[in-house]
Amino acid sequence: MEQRILRTECSDKTGLIAGIAQLCFKYNYNIHHQDQFVSSEDNTFFMRSVLDGDFDKADDFMQEIKAFLPADAKASLKENKKANIAVLVTKESHCLGDILMKSYSGALDANVVMVAGNYNKLEDLANKFNVPFHLVSHEGISRDEQEQRMMEVIDSYDVDYIVLAKYMRILSPKMVAHYPLGKLINIHHSFLPAFIGARPYEQAFNRGVKIIGATAHFVTNNLDEGPIITQDVISVNHRYSAENMAKAGRDVERLVLLKALNKVFDHKVFIHGNKTIVF
């Protein structure tokens, strides 16, 4: 018996859940777990259903599902398998190290197929987990050329998602557009929308903040303003320097990124405009 995940997004109407359940019964699929939500803003229905069964006739099932749903519907049947991810880095090791360790231990449902960075500082860390590392330096070449080389490296692998694990380069609109929305995931060392851009801990220190946080979000052309997946904060006080805040913030970044990745890899995140629905 297999397990797959049915994702449904469409205009809400009476009988959606009942109709989908009837089709699942027709194909002898057991609904193992189900979450649903209706956005009050635009009456959009979202549902994630975990199905158990024999999926030899999955194509027929999906044809009937799409015929039943409203014309604007987006429906997909996802295999419940590990995601293949590429990780982009610069010099900071905490997020990459956490991803590698959690992938190795099974706490992250993903295969890290490669790591690429604009410096080689983290090559030894990737090698400890037998993960290929690619240096795609930005030095001595244009931004366009560096990004083109980076995309060629990424595209040489079969990856489901690209994780910017403290990759301290602003992606150009060309590179963002090269990948579908939802494939690029970033961890930002701030509780967005506060302190966007560089040196957020210094910004926070100068404002005398009482909490610091981290935000995992999908990447768009608007810097640090893509749909937010997860966020968290910790308390700080006047005794914290900007450096102390940065050290404390690294733990929040690791935890927030791991939670976001697990949600995305488990197909629990729907992008809805510049927001997300997270089950």
- Alpha-carbon distance 233 to 226, whole Å? 19
Q: Where are the domains of the chain?
A: 2-79, 83-278
CATH topology of domain 83-278: Rossmann fold (3.40.50)
- Alpha-carbon distance 98 to 32, whole Å? 31
Amino acid letter, 6: L
**Strand bridging mode 83-89 / 110-117:** parallel
Query: What's the pLDDT at 129?
Result: 97
Query: What's the pLDDT at 48?
Result: 98
Q: How does pLDDT run along the chain (279 residues), one tens digit per residue?
A: 899 999 999 999 999 999 999 999 999 999 999 999 999 999 999 999 999 999 999 999 999 999 999 999 999 999 989 999 999 999 999 999 999 999 999 999 999 999 999 999 999 999 999 999 999 999 999 999 999 999 999 999 999 999 999 999 999 999 999 999 999 999 987 754 566 666 766 776 777 777 888 899 999 998 778 999 999 988 888 888 878 877 888 889 999 999 999 999 999 999 999 999 999
Amino acid letter, 115: V
Query: What's the pLDDT at 203?
Result: 73
**224 in catalytic set:** yes
> CB–CB of 215/259 below 8 Å?
no
The residue annotated as part of the active site, out of 54, 56, 98, 224, is: 224
Task: Tell which residue, 267, 263, 274, has the closest CA to residue 230.
Answer: 263
> CB–CB of 276/227 below 8 Å?
yes
Query: What's the pLDDT at 195?
Result: 63
> CB–CB of 122/97 below 8 Å?
no
CATH topology of domain 2-79: Alpha-Beta Plaits (3.30.70)
**pTM summary value:** 0.90
